[in-house]
Amino acid sequence: MRLLFFVILFSPFGMYSQTAPQLQPGKWQGQLAMNDRLFVPFRMEMSEQKSKLILEIINGDERISLQLNTEKDSIIARFPELDAYIKFKVGETGTELRGYWLNMNKKVQTKIPLNAWVDKTITELDIVTSNIDGKWKATFSPTSKEPEITVGIFNQKAELIQGTFLTETGDYRYLSGTVGADRFSMSTFNGSWAFLVEGSIVNDSIYGKFYSGASYQTDWIAVKDANAALRDPSKLTYVDKSADFNFAALKSLKGKSVDLKKRGKNKVVIYQIMGTWCPNCIDEIHYFKELYQKYHNQGLEIVGMSYEVGSDEKSQIKRLKAFKKRLSIPYEIVLAGTSSKEVASSQFPMLNGIMSFPTAVVVDRTGKIVYVHTGFNGPATGEAYENYTKEMKEILEGLLK
């Protein structure tokens, strides 16, 4: 297979007018210049709804609608659930744009250059002979001291493919791309991260490269395995000693100390260990909103314990307030500390440690921990997500009775 990517080069602002031109509706192809050698492709669609232009990032079945605002000769498109945006200038014809992506939740904020153009035929594929549809046992960094075992789930239709990787701390969300005779490529861009997955197909094996962000890359290998599975996420984190919660440092969104024990008295409580910077946490929040709506009147409380980037408490609370409003979160969110597994572990000293954001800790009406779920494999994982939601439903309904 040959994938032909066309890099559009612009003269410095020469082709741009002083006011932002109208973007042409339809499908667009874009790319992020992660460094001078790595370009991560992504897809967009421009459409008009009620005389208003809508920009959507497309990752397989996922569509992320960005909020557009004009700023002089530029357009700022903000991701709805993350503190991230893309800013760009539009070419005079409305069929090309260039700018950058900025994720405000990064400790070191870097403007990642991007450009995009109205989608045309940008790929030339050989006759498709490879079929990688199904489950794969995949190992990332296979030669390292600590290789990571994952499960690849791929859904292929002709030369098009979408899927994800399940890990013990969360899934890679929605990946999509194309398959050729002996190679394939998938990518995703959601405002928090940009991934590129490439693989060479040899019989029932895959040998590939995984790229994340501006600098990280690693090898990965996989074998086709319909029974591929990870360890049980409800058994990775567990109670291993007698100790009480250490919630003394928690702050409300008003900056006041919080006593979660009083709030949880005679209630079934889910403590959600999370962060605003975490896409898997956001997927979990959407699911927990459903649980809260269904079971709150029966005695369920959910508390989002957020661990934030940086150490300025005032800025962290400001970010949390905006986050809660953007996602219309109906349950309580508190500032638990900095984005550190060590900090989270210190607040749950009875557990063997917190290994993932997110982690859900379920407590019964007597204050006893009865269930801990490490990570979150969301809607992109299909069967894994359905099995988890079924298990959680059974646990909660049993406790609420």
Element (DSSP H or E) covering residue 360: strand 359-363
The amino acid that residue 163 corresponds to is G
Spatial CB neighbours of 315, under 8 Å, sequence gap ≥ 6:
none
Position 14 scores a pLDDT of 37
Q: What is the pLDDT of residues 159-187, one digit of tens each?
A: 999 999 999 999 999 999 999 989 999 99
Average pLDDT over residues 257-270: 89
Output the CATH code of domain 134-224.
2.40.128.120
Q: DSSP secondary structure string, 224-284?
A: E-TT-----TTSSS-B-S------TT-B-TTS-B--HHHHTTTSEEEEEEE-TT-HHHHHH
Query: What's the mean pLDDT when you consider all of the chain?
Result: 92
Extract the tokens encoding 74: 């530029």
- Residues spanned by CATH 2.40.128.120 within the chain? 26-118, 134-224
**What DSSP element (H or E) covers 148?**
strand 148-157
Positions of CATH 3.40.30.10 in the chain: 260-400
Q: Look at residue 6 in the predicted model and tell me its pLDDT.
A: 33
pLDDT digits (tens, 9 = 90+) for 78-100: 999 999 999 999 999 999 999 99
H or E stretch at 286: helix 279-295
357: three-class secondary structure by DSSP: coil
For 260-400, CATH gives 3.40.30.10
Q: At what angle do helices 279-295 and 383-400 cross, to 10 degrees?
A: 40
pLDDT digits (tens, 9 = 90+) for 386-395: 999 999 999 9
Closest by CA to 172, choosing from 158, 192, 157, 156, is 192
Q: Is the pLDDT of residue 7 over 50?
A: no
Collect all residues with Cβ–Cβ distance below 8 Å to 232 and sequence separation of at least 6: none
pLDDT value at position 23?
Answer: 87
Total-model pTM: 0.90
Least confident of 4-18, 260-274, 278-292, 370-384: 4-18
Q: Band the pLDDT of 52: cuts 50, 70, 90.
A: confident
Query: Residue 69 half-sphere exposure, CB side, CA atoms within 13 Å?
Result: 8
What is the spatial distance between Cα 302 and Cα 264, in angstroms, rounded to a whole number?
9
Range scoring the smallest mean pLDDT among 55-59, 259-263, 287-291, 297-301:
259-263
Between the alpha carbon of residue 189 and those of residues 31, 126, 186, the distances in Å are 10, 26, 11
At 72 the three-state DSSP class reads: coil
Q: Summarize the confidence of residues 198-221 as an average pLDDT.
A: 96
CATH superfamily of 26-118: Quinohemoprotein amine dehydrogenase alpha subunit, domain 2 (2.40.128.120)
pLDDT in tens, 144-161: 999 999 999 999 999 999
- The alpha carbon dihedral of 168, 176, 280, 194 has a sign of positive
Q: How far apart are CA 163 and CA 153, in angstroms?
A: 5
